Amino acid sequence: VFQGRILARRLVGQETRYEVEVKTPYRDRFPLVPREYVWVPNACGCPPLREGGEYLLMARRHVNYERTLNRILLQDDGYARPWTPREERLVREAARHC
């Protein structure tokens, strides 16, 4: 779970790749660098993340069977909400209980 700002969006085959500036990581299940690519397994623009917008994102690390592909994947059951101070407060409260 992290707060990020969308820098760019690009369609790559049947997937969408977002370049994201990582602002605040909330859960460190895997290390994040200041700029990451977040992949969405569709090209329809769902969820609708606009360039320049800040979001609270819950994504998973995806490593394929051969271990040749290691990326951050925002799946259909993932979480992508526009960032607000209320969202930040809710995440910080939840982090204390998890």
- pLDDT on residue 98: 61
- pLDDT on residue 55: 94
**47: CATH:** 2.40.50.120
37 or 67: which carries more pLDDT confidence?
Answer: 37
96 or 11: which carries more pLDDT confidence?
Answer: 11
The rounded distance, in Å, linking the Cα atoms of 31 and 53 is 23
The rounded distance, in Å, linking the Cα atoms of 97 and 69 is 32
pLDDT tens track for 5-58:
999 999 999 999 999 999 988 877 778 889 999 999 988 878 889 999 999 998
- pLDDT on residue 60: 87
- pTM score of the predicted model: 0.82
* Segments forming the whole domain that contains residue 65: 2-96
- Which runs of E-coded beta strand occur in 1-98? 2-12, 15-25, 35-40, 54-58, 60-63, 70-73, 79-82
The rounded distance, in Å, linking the Cα atoms of 10 and 29 is 26
**How many structural domains are present in the chain?**
1
Polymer length in residues for the chain: 98
